């Protein structure tokens, strides 16, 4: 049964994704060069193509094995890891919205020790680079996480979660350029592996945040994380989440994400990983045209976890039709309209 990938809500989709059946496996052999990389002081993370799963939407890979081979992605980015185990926010943790969803997971995770012992070894078996998303309540938490994980052979790089809207410390770091710069610099001192800073859209000037992260030593930026939002039941006068607010994701935020990726790409020279509302292969290329060299797919994986097994071939076909030999050639090629003459 074909699965629509252009839905703006569950209600407007003609078909549902089967929840049972064999896992889909295998990447597409490409005639177009889809490869890219994330730079780092000790050498880059080389990726077969530009598409990664967004942290928090793909578990640690194992959860999606019944539906897709996690190794079809260019790399694996698991849920955020903190020094100590976190139980997360109270339920309900998700709420559907027009063209998207709200979540308030609260960074539930097993903690550093359990991650290294039980989760990281399995992630390493997928045959693609493992990028560990780390989060902390204090700068020292991030430093200790980077120091501990830097010695793990399975770890290819880090993504710093300084932007989660569902916990106070996420916005505390993510909205303050000085705090962002200091945090990135502190982690940079602990590792020569590629370092990605994940930025929040809940700021007035994304370019300022991008510059701060780059000055701190980030090798790449990922943006955007979810947008602060609410969903309220007027009859009960209560939130539809277990918290008052949550993070909005899905197609609703794609125009905002495209704009912020474009603005960030004009502010810094380091690579950008675009995130926000990708539901079609064309959206991958849109993000790349405005300045992203890689992308992450998140919310869409909940309804179509095997989408990538089709998208790579479709992306290759679109690029071939346009005479593009390497996907890197389209990065940052957006041509803004000419200014109006008064």
Q: What is the pLDDT of residue 340?
A: 86
Q: Residue 341's pLDDT band (boundaries 50, 70, 90)?
A: confident
Q: Which fold has domain 10-330?
A: TIM Barrel (3.20.20)
The 10 Å Cβ neighbour count of residue 326 is 13
Over the stretch 310-332, which tens digit does the pLDDT of each residue have? 999 999 999 999 999 999 999 99
- Over the chain, what is the mean pLDDT? 91
> What percent of the chain has a predicted confidence (pLDDT) above 90?
86
Other CB atoms within 10 Å distance of the CB of residue 90: 11
Average pLDDT over residues 103-122: 98
Q: How far apart are CA 24 and CA 262, in angstroms?
A: 34
- Whether residue 29 has pLDDT greater than 60: no
Query: What does each C-alpha distance from 26 to 154, 277, 282, 300, 308 come to in angstroms?
Result: 22, 24, 21, 20, 10
Task: Tell me the torsion sign for CA atoms 259, 262, 180, 59.
Answer: positive
DSSP class per residue in 124-168: HTTSS-EEEEE--SSHHHHHHHHHHHHT-TTEEEEEEE---TTSH
pLDDT of residue 5: 35
Q: Return the active site residues.
A: 164
Per-residue model confidence (pLDDT) at position 163: 74
Where do the domains of the chain lie? Answer: 10-330
Confidence band for 11, pLDDT divided at 50, 70 and 90: very low
Residues in the chain: 342
Which of 109, 127, 134 has its CA nearest to residue 119? 109
The per-residue pLDDT for range 134-190, each reduced to its tens digit, is 999 999 999 999 999 999 999 999 999 987 654 555 456 788 999 999 999 999 999
The secondary element (H helix, E strand) that includes residue 191 is none
Its pTM stands at 0.90
d(CA 185, CA 180): 8
Quick count: other Cβ atoms within 10 Å of Cβ 246? 30
Per-residue pLDDT for 98 more than 80?
Answer: yes
């Amino acid at each position: 049964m074909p699965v629509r990938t252009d839905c703006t809500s569950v209600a407007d989709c003609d078909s549902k994704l089967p929840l049972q059946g064999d896992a889909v496996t295998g990447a597409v052999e490409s005639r177009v060069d889809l490869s890219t990389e994330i730079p780092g002081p000790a050498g880059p993370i080389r990726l077969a193509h530009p598409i990664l799963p967004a942290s928090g939407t793909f578990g640690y890979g194992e959860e999606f094995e019944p539906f897709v081979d996690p190794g079809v992605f260019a790399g694996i980015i698991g849920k955020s890891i903190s020094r100590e185990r976190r139980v997360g926010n109270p339920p309900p943790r998700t709420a559907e919205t027009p063209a998207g969803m709200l979540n308030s997971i609260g960074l539930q995770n097993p903690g550093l020790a359990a991650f290294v012992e039980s989760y990281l070894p399995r992630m390493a078996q997928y045959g693609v680079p493992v990028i560990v998303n780390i989060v902390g309540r204090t700068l020292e938490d991030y430093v200790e996480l980077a120091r501990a994980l830097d010695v793990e052979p399975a770890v290819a790089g880090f993504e710093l979660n300084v932007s989660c809207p569902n916990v106070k410390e996420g916005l505390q770091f993510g909205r303050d350029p000085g705090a962002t710069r200091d945090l990135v610099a502190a982690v940079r001192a602990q590792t020569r592996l590629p370092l990605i800073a994940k930025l929040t859209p809940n700021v007035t000037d994304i370019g300022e945040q991008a510059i701060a992260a780059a000055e701190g030593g980030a090798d790449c930026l990922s943006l955007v994380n979810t947008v602060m939002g609410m969903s309220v039941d007027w009859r009960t006068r209560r939130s539809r989440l277990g918290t008052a607010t949550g993070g909005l994701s899905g197609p609703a935020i794609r125009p905002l994400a495209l704009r912020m990726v474009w603005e960030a790409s004009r502010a810094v020279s380091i690579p950008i990983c675009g995130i926000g509302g990708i539901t079609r292969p064309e959206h991958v290329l849109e993000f790349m045209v405005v300045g992203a060299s890689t992308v992450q797919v998140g919310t869409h994986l909940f309804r179509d976890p095997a989408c990538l097994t089709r998208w790579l071939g479709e992306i290759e076909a679109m690029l071939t039709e346009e005479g593009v030999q390497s996907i890197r050639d389209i990065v940052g090629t957006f041509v803004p309209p000419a200014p109006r003459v008064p």
